[in-house]
A and B are shown apart, each in its own frame.
Chain A
Amino acid sequence: MFDEKALEKIRAGKEKWEQGPVAQAHSRSSERKPIFTTISGTPVGRLYTPLDVKGLDYERDLGYPGEFPFTRGVQPTMYRGRYWTVRQYAGFGDARSTNERYRHMLAQGQTGLSVAFHLPTQAGYDSDHPLSMGEVGKVGVAIDHIGDMRILFDQIPLDKVTTSMTMNAPAIVLVSMYLVIAQEQGVAWDKVGGTIQNDVLKEIICRGQYIYPPRKSMRLAIDLIEFCGKNVPKWNPISISGYHIREAGSTAAQEMAFTIADGIAYTEACIERGMEVDSFAPRLSFFFNAFTNVLEEVAKFRAGRRYWAKVMRDRFKAKDPRSMMLRFHVQTGGVSLTAQQPLNNIVRVAFQAYATALGGAQSLHTNSFDEALCLPTQQAATIALRTQQIVAEESGAADTVDPLAGSYYVENMTDRIEAEIDDYIQKIDAMGGSLAAIEQGYIQKEILESSYRFQKELESGERVYVGVNKYVMEEPSPTGLLKVDMAVGEMKAAELKEHRAQRDHAKWKAALDELRRVSMTDENVMPCVIEAVKAKATVGEICDVWRDLYGEYRPKEFVY
C-alpha cells in the first residue's frame, strides 16, 4: 500500500523517534515490562507503522466484504443489513422448564435458540442409566426421546425460529428428532433452519463428550452432513468448533489452526464419500471463542476467514464463493470468567462481545456473569442478553464493516496469526491430517502446553487477572445461585419407565433391528434413525446399537 520511497521516509522517521523521544522517555523511566505479550503469548510491539504491513496488498489480502478472501467479512453489508443472531445457549432440568425459559427469551428479543443438553444425552445415555446418576438436568435439558423433544419446542414454530444444538456423538439422533417435530408441526424440511455441532473430532481433542472411536464417529458425522445436504438445505449440519479448544487452554492462533485442520478433515471425508465440494461446503459452519484482548480476537477472526477461503479455493478447488466463507458463531470466553468479584465478568463479557462484533461473527452467545459459580440465574442471563443489545445498538460497532481494517497493528497481527495457522496446518498435513494428529495426541499436547504456560504466568503475576491475582478483596460468599432440583432425575426415570411400557414394542424392535442392519453397511443411516425416533426409541437405545457395533473410544490414561 506504500511505495518504497514512502517507506524509506517512515523508516528514517521511526528511527529518529526511537533514538530521540523514546530513548528520552526510557531514561526517565523504563516501560512497565521488558516484553509485552497478548494473552496468547504473542509479542506486542511499542508502535506499529506502515513498515509492519509493507507486504500488504489491499485487493489481494483484504478486498471487499462478501468477496474473496473474505478478510473483511462474509456479507457485503454485514450488520448494516441485519445484526448478528443473538443466540443464548440455555437449557436445564426437564423439557418443560427449558421450554418456558426459551419462550421468555424469545419474548425478550432473542432471535435464535441454542439448546444445552444435559451430559447423559450428550454421551448417549438415557436419564435412568447408572452413569447418568447425579447428572440429570444439571448442565442442560434432559432429552431421552421424541416426547421430550415435542415438549421442548411446544408453541415454538420451527419455520420461524432457527435452533442450534450442542450435540456431537449422538448428533444424528437429535437432528432426527428435530425433523420429526418439524413434520408434526407441518413445517417442510426445506423451511427448517438451524445448526448442529456434530464436531466429534474436537470432542476427542478436548471436550470429552465422545462415544465411538474417531473413525466410526466420523462416519455418523458425514452421514448427517450428507442427509441434510439433500433434504434439509437450510440446515448447518456441522459447527466445527474452536471454542472448546480455546477453553482447554490453547492460544488464539491454535484455536483457529486446529479448527481449520478439523475442517479440512471433514471436507476430505465428505469428498471421499463422493460429495462434490460445492454441494456441502457452503453449509459448513464454525464456532469460536472470544477473549478480552479485543484486538487479538479481531485479528484471529480476520486471519481465519482469509485462510479458510484460500484452503477451499486452492486445496479443494471450490468454485462457489459460499464454499469459501468462514461463517461462525461466537461464545464469549467461559474460562475468562472469575468466581472472585463476579460482577466484573459483566465488563469482560462486554469487551468480548465488542470484539465479536468488530470481528464479524454471524451469531453470538454472551456468558452470564455468574457462570464461574453456577448455571446462570434469570437476572444474569438477562444482563448477558442486554450486553449484546448494547453492543449492537449503542456502541457503533455494527454501523460500518470491519472498522479495524487498516490498523497497522491489527493488520500485522492478522498476518502473524495467519502465518501461525499455516505452520500448524503444514505440520498436521505432514502427520497425515487432523485425525492422525489427534490419534497421536499431538493437538492435545500442544493445547496442554499453552494452558500450562498461561497458568505459570498467572501464578507468577506476570499475567494479571483482576480480582484473582491483583486487586483481591475479601467478599461475602455469593448467594441466590441457581440450583437444579435433584428430583428431576427420579422424575425422568419414572417417566422413561412409562414411555418404554406404552410404546408399540414390535414397531420399536423392528426399527432398531433395521438400524442395526443398515449401520453395518455403507448406506446412510439417517433415514433409519428417523424411523427409530418415530418408533419411540430412546437416545440411549439408538446409541447402544452403535456402541455394540463400533465399540467405544477410550483415551489413554496418562501418568506423570
Chain B
Amino acid sequence: MARKIKMIMAKPGLDGHDRGAKLLTRICAEAGMEVVYTGLRQTPEMIVAAAEQECADVIGLSSLSGVHNYFFPRVAELMKQRGLDHVLLVGGGIIPEEDYDFLKESGMAAIFGPGTPTAEIVSFIRNNVRRR
C-alpha cells in the first residue's frame, strides 16, 4: 500500500484567520492524506523545519492579511536552501489574481483563491505531488 501523502498546513505571519486552513486540514485528511496543522504565527523557518521533520510531501500556506508576496517566496527560497525542492508548495487565501504570476515564478505550484472547491485542491495535490 502506498504511503499516505503527508501535508503541512501553515499560517505564516500574524494573520489569525484560519477557518480555511482548519477546514482543509480536515478535508485533506478525509481524502486520505496525513495532515499537520501548525497553528498561527509561523515564520518561514518554522514552516520549513516542520516540513523537514515530518518528511512532508506538500506544504499548504494560507494568508488572508495581504502578506503573501512577502512570506510565500521566503518559504520557497528556504525550501530550496534546505534541499526540499521535491516538496509541493501551494497557497491560498485572499490573494489578488494579479499576484499569481509573481508567486508562481517564486516557486508556488498553485494559488487557490476564495471560493475554490476543496475537491479541486485535493485533486491538484494528488496529481502533482512527487512521492519519495
The chain A residues found within 8 Å of chain B, CB to CB, are 119-120, 122-123, 125, 130-135, 138-139, 203, 206-209, 247-249, 335, 338-340, 372-375, 448, 451-452, 455, 459, 465, 468-469, 477-479, 481, 484, 486, 554-555, 557-560
B19 lies within 8 A of A208 (CB): no
**Given A339-B115, A559-B36: A375 and B66 within 8 A (CB)?**
yes
Cβ-defined contact, A373 with B40, below 8 A: no
Task: Find residues 29-65 in chain B having any chain A CB closer than 8 Å to their own CB.
Answer: 29-30, 34-41, 43, 65
Question: Residue-by-residue, is B96-130 near A (CB-CB < 8 Å gives 1, otherwise 0)?
Answer: 11100000000000000111011100000000000
Evaluate contact between A139 and B65: CB separation under 8 angstroms: yes
Q: A135-B13, A208-B16 given as contacts; is B66 within 8 A of A557 (CB)?
A: no
Known contacts A452-B26, A468-B115, A481-B96; A558 and B16 CB within 8 A of each other: no
B34 and A459: CB pair below 8 A?
no
State how many angstroms separate the Cβ of B73 from the closest Cβ of chain A: 10
* B15 adjacent to chain A (CB < 8 Å): yes
**A–B pairs, 12, beta carbons within 8 Å:** A119-B15, A132-B14, A135-B14, A208-B17, A459-B117, A477-B96, A486-B70, A557-B36, A557-B38, A558-B37, A560-B25, A560-B37
Since A131-B13, A335-B19, A560-B35 are in contact, a sample of 14 more A-B pairs with Cβ atoms closer than 8 Å, ordered by chain A residue number, is: A208-B17, A209-B16, A339-B113, A372-B114, A373-B94, A448-B23, A452-B23, A455-B27, A477-B96, A478-B97, A484-B66, A554-B39, A558-B37, A559-B35
Q: Are A455 and B23 in contact (CB under 8 A)?
A: yes
**How far apart sit A559 and B6, CA to CA, in the bound complex (Å)?**
11
Please measure, in the bound complex, the distance between the C-alpha atom of A248 and the C-alpha atom of B17, giving whole angstroms.
8
Chain B interface (Cβ < 8 Å from any Cβ of A): 13-19, 22-23, 25-30, 34-41, 43, 65-67, 69-71, 94, 96-98, 113-115, 117-119
CB distance from A457 to the nearest CB of B (A): 13
**Residue in B15, B18, B96, B98 whose Cβ sees the most chain A Cβ within 10 Å:** B96
Q: Are A372 and B35 in contact (CB under 8 A)?
A: no
| A-B interface pairs (CB < 8 A), number | 114
Q: Provide the bound-state CA to CA distance between A373 and B115, in Å.
A: 11
Q: Which residues of A contact B15 (CB under 8 A)?
A: 119, 139, 208
Which of chain A's residues have a CB closer than 8 A to the CB of B97?
A: 477-478
Chain A contacts for B98, CB-based, 8 A: 477, 479, 481
Distance in Å: Cβ of B78 to nearest Cβ of chain A: 14
Chain A residues positioned under 8 Å from B26 (CB to CB): 448, 452, 560
Q: What A residues does B13 contact at CB under 8 A?
A: 119, 131, 134-135
Report the minimal beta-carbon distance from A305 to chain B, rounded to whole angstroms.
27
List of B residues within 8 angstroms of A373 by Cβ: 94, 96
Which B residues touch A374, using CB under 8 A?
Answer: 66, 94, 96
Chain A minimum-CB-distance residue to B41: A131
A274 to chain B, nearest CB (A): 33
**Most chain A CB within a 10 A radius of its CB, from B16, B97, B113:** B16
Taken together as a complex, chains A and B put the C-alpha atoms of A510 and B23 apart, in Å, by 48
- How far apart are the CA atoms of A125 and B40 in the complex, in Å? 15
Contact of B14 among A131, A247, A484 (CB under 8 A): A131
Closest residue to B50 on the A side, CB-wise? A557
| CB closest chain-B residue, reference A468 | B115
Smallest CB separation, B49 vs chain A (Å):
13
Nearest opposing residue in chain A for B54, CB measure: A559
Provide the bound-state CA to CA distance between A125 and B26, in Å: 32
Docked-complex contact B37 and A559, CB < 8 angstroms: yes
B14 to chain A, nearest CB (A): 4
The residue that B114 contacts in the complex, of A138, A338, A486, with Cβ under 8 A, is A338
Residues on A with beta carbons closer than 8 Å to the beta carbon of B113: 339
Q: Is the CB of A134 within 8 A of B94?
A: no
CB nearest neighbor in B for A447: B19
A558's closest neighbor in chain B, by CB? B37
| Cα distance, A249 to B18, chains bound together (Å) | 11
Of A206, A452, A469, A555, the contact of B39 (CB 8 Å cutoff): A555
| Smallest beta-carbon distance A245→chain B, Å | 11
B71-A134 in contact (CB<8A): yes
Q: Are B16 and A478 in contact (CB under 8 A)?
A: no
Sort A-B residue pairs by CB-CB distance and give the 8 closest, nearest first.
Answer: A208-B16, A134-B70, A560-B29, A119-B14, A477-B97, A339-B114, A134-B67, A468-B115
